[in-house]
Structure 1
């Protein structure tokens, strides 16, 4: 070491011992601590803002098929036991060997009895009472009468073979009591197999409307608003009319309470002049053309109605009061008694009763016409309607037991498919987005929905019992999870975009730190030398 180097080192030591040197030494230590704290804070913030909580959601692999046992009851006081057993075996063998609907498997079994004594249970069952033509109590042109219970009266002749009777019973099960066409529409809706537009064009307007109605997802609850649009403030109101309507619809809704809940309200609406929407033909008959005119009327009604705080879907059953009755005209120029719009409601024109006597025949007939329309509208909007052959006749009771069972089956299938769709959509989203956050609350709801779904499918397969509480709860929970805002909080903030956000923030702070670290390192090397 030269004398010059020794002199420089000596002066440096003297400088560091001076007050300024001591202060500089402390400043360097403070800077080191500051930079360490800054680095720790940076990594802490980075970790907190990029960590993803992933609670576990169990998967479903084999829950794509709905299975169930189904009982076929064959009654008759006239047909021999041997023939009924033979028909029952043919029926169950044929139905079990065929695939009625994709992803739904029924395991049919038959029971033969002498008298009509239906078992009062909730198992999926189809009952038939075979009656010879000489004992047939209904019109001779009908071969089937669907009563208010769950048993269907079927006519046969002495010349009919077992195979002919079997075909008649099979047609009733497939086309009416189960309605495989409706179930197939639900399956295609959830699997994304939408009907070809060309096929839809070839359908008649009636079946086009039915396709729209049947493909609509069912809710657990509906607000049913019966709205009477009054054409005059001067006409005396009959409050009993509104009460009788509400009473009839409430009774109707109670029959469906095991599946769907209907909240009924009846109200009057003034200030809409129906004449503004009517047209008159050369004979002087007034009519309302189905199309833009009806859509405009529906828009005006929606504007006049006060908003609802309920999140449940609304069905508006509109009664258009008018002094001179008019008709609806469809696009083909045919008269229609009413208009039904899927997801919205229905419109019906009626002339109010002149008399205010609630016990009069006129009042009873008018109330019957109105309630019949309201019942029919609800059945169509909820998918309970049935297209029967001309040789089939059904009871005039608003809602028969076989219709309730059919609706329960449709409701069950609808909820199962909706739940599976929501669960699979959530799993697909989680797999697609690597930084998807799944909280314990969300995972618990989805896992509970999956548990209820599996339990419901397992019970339905073993017992054939249509228990709707569990599957309704599962569908509701899965819907809550799918629409949960926390599930998609980072959906549109992937890693490459994070770099673009953090880089401008981090560089101004990190660059001086890097330079300071290099300076400290350089001083440390010089000190060692």
Structure 2
């Protein structure tokens, strides 16, 4: 009797454990389920063709519509649109003159053409040919952005919401270094007018610093012919001493653009950069995606007297740095455009960044559903779906203004779109599961539940066998 009671109690204990496990499975399933918000449907995006608004004045026989139609047939990157003359339109103003001439008015989008009546008969072909020439460099750059198979200009920095321009004076001679007086004021005087023009594409900040003990990682070779130390093109990639030169940016969120002015120590002066055996006139070079390096060789008479760098030399350094800055941004060249940051060139740069940001936003938005589908247990918060919806709205606004030729407004919305798309893509609750596949889950559960389930399983099998044996014995009797 006691044996039967003990067997019954043991069996009840095993059943109680198994009941707890079986009842806990639904609770475990419900508590470990992840919420997955329904993502908005990503549409099929149309091809990107930034519009250029064109207007004609002073020509009755040649309509703007005819010009626009001809230009759109000749190239397929830009989309020329017919508009009435305005401050935003590229207005071609014809007037009668003795000789054929063209003039881009500084600070405007007006393009004046003068010709005789006889010459005006062939004016259609002349305007179309010259218009294509004006936008040719921009067309090639846009074509490279749109076609992934083409090799991009590696010097041009990728889009970033903010950039920090850092001017670093690196002194090789720490005993008698030359002095760059009021370097921050010179930097602002040269760069602020340019930054005002390119402000629509990103946020910019300026910083200057001086460092000493800036040793090179190699010894330049002396050239008897030029009586100078020579840097060959093969030496340039190793010029920056990253291990010892502190070029870190103070703003972690900003992309640094480094403009390094290196002053060699006297034993290596003058230090001259050579390209294919010839000295580089500016004695500087551009490092792709990094910035630029300029070597300044102090004049001996200044070294012996005041050690102060002349203002003319500082202004020349700032001029070279500003030109390299425009190269790093990808500023297109315009025949006849006046100034480093003329309105025509800035318009071209804005259209380039517009296309780049729209493409990047589209690719990011298309990637989110793919990743969510690949990882079924990924948590998709509701605010991620909201950000995607907002990004799609801004992307639609960007395309709307782009098709009207209002590139600055379009770029504003495309920057908002890419920012919201990246916030959705890199959401911390989603990114945490990108590196936590199912194999990791099994690695956590097995050591935890294995030692618990194995005794329960063995006890359950044992009780089942005893129950079947007892039942068989009773049926045999």
Correspondence 1:91 to 2:36 = no
Could you say which residue in structure 2 is the equivalent of 1:330?
275
Alignment of 1:414-453 (within 5 A): 414-453=356-395
Could you say which residue in structure 2 is the equivalent of 1:289?
231
Q: Secondary structure at the match of 2:199?
A: coil
Correspondence 1:81 to 2:52 = no
Which of 490, 511, 515 is the aligned partner of 2:461? 515
Which of 29, 32, 40 is the aligned partner of 2:15? 32
Residue 465 of structure 1 deviates from its aligned partner by 4.8
* Structure 1 pair 111–446 and aligned structure 2 pair: CA distance change class (3 A): closer
Give the whole-Å Cα distance in 2 for the aligned partners of 1:336 and 1:451.
49
Residue 24 of structure 1 deviates from its aligned partner by 5.8
Which of 237, 261, 264 is the aligned partner of 2:206? 264
| TM-score (normalised: structure 1) | 0.74
* Structure 1 pair 46–413 and aligned structure 2 pair: CA distance change class (3 A): same
* Structure 1 pair 39–311 and aligned structure 2 pair: CA distance change class (3 A): same
Verify the 8 A CA contact 1:277 1:288 in the aligned structure 2. Answer: no
Could you say which residue in structure 2 is the equivalent of 1:369?
316
* Structure 1 pair 477–89 and aligned structure 2 pair: CA distance change class (3 A): closer
Could you say which residue in structure 1 is the equivalent of 2:91?
127
Give a deviation string over 1:436-486, Cα, whole Å, max 9, x none.
432334333333222321232234335735323322122122223333454
Verify the 8 A CA contact 1:148 1:400 in the aligned structure 2. Answer: yes
Correspondence 1:183 to 2:142 = yes
Could you say which residue in structure 1 is the equivalent of 2:287?
341
> Structure 1 stretch 288-297 or stretch 497-506: which is displaced more?
497-506
Give a deviation string over 1:193-217, Cα, whole Å, max 9, x none.
254xxxxxxxxxxxxxx72235x52
Q: Compute the RMSD of aligned alpha carbons.
A: 3.8
Give the whole-Å Cα distance in 2 for the aligned partners of 1:212 and 1:254.
25
* Structure 1 pair 375–319 and aligned structure 2 pair: CA distance change class (3 A): same
Verify the 8 A CA contact 2:164 2:206 in the aligned structure 1. Answer: yes
Could you say which residue in structure 2 is the equivalent of 1:225?
166
Verify the 8 A CA contact 1:92 1:110 in the aligned structure 2. Answer: no
Q: Secondary structure at the match of 2:262?
A: strand
Give the whole-Å Cα distance in 2 for the aligned partners of 1:172 and 1:345.
29
Q: Secondary structure at the match of 1:100?
A: coil
Q: Secondary structure at the match of 1:303?
A: coil
* Structure 1 pair 309–167 and aligned structure 2 pair: CA distance change class (3 A): closer
For structure 2, the 5+ residue unaligned runs are: 304-308
Give the whole-Å Cα distance in 1 for the aligned partners of 2:183 and 2:287.
25
* Structure 1 pair 446–346 and aligned structure 2 pair: CA distance change class (3 A): same
Residue 416 of structure 1 deviates from its aligned partner by 0.4
Give the whole-Å Cα distance in 1 for the aligned partners of 2:460 and 2:96.
100
| TM-score (normalised: structure 2) | 0.81
Could you say which residue in structure 2 is the equivalent of 1:41?
24
Report which of the two structures shows the higher radius of gyration computed on alpha carbons: 1
Give the whole-Å Cα distance in 2 for the aligned partners of 1:47 and 1:527.
44
* Structure 1 pair 24–329 and aligned structure 2 pair: CA distance change class (3 A): same
Could you say which residue in structure 1 is the equivalent of 2:426?
483
Alignment of 1:93-492 (within 5 A): 93-101=69-77, 106=79, 108-111=81-84, 118-119=86-87, 123=88, 125-130=89-94, 134=98, 145=104, 147-154=106-113, 156=115, 159-160=118-119, 161-176=122-137, 179-189=138-148, 193-195=149-151, 211-214=153-156, 216-232=157-173, 233-235=175-177, 237-273=179-215, 277-300=219-242, 303-306=245-248, 308=250, 310-321=252-263, 325-331=270-276, 333=278, 335-337=280-282, 338-351=284-297, 363=310, 365-386=312-333, 392-395=335-338, 397-461=339-403, 464-467=406-409, 468-484=411-427, 486-491=429-434
* Structure 1 pair 146–385 and aligned structure 2 pair: CA distance change class (3 A): farther
Could you say which residue in structure 2 is the equivalent of 1:7?
none
Give the whole-Å Cα distance in 2 for the aligned partners of 1:435 and 1:222.
37
Residue 275 of structure 1 deviates from its aligned partner by 11
Give the whole-Å Cα distance in 2 for the aligned partners of 1:404 and 1:132.
30
Residue 58 of structure 1 deviates from its aligned partner by 1.3
Verify the 8 A CA contact 1:126 1:173 in the aligned structure 2. Answer: no
> Structure 1 stretch 92-101 or stretch 512-521: which is displaced more?
512-521
Residue 240 of structure 1 deviates from its aligned partner by 2.2
* Structure 1 pair 265–74 and aligned structure 2 pair: CA distance change class (3 A): same
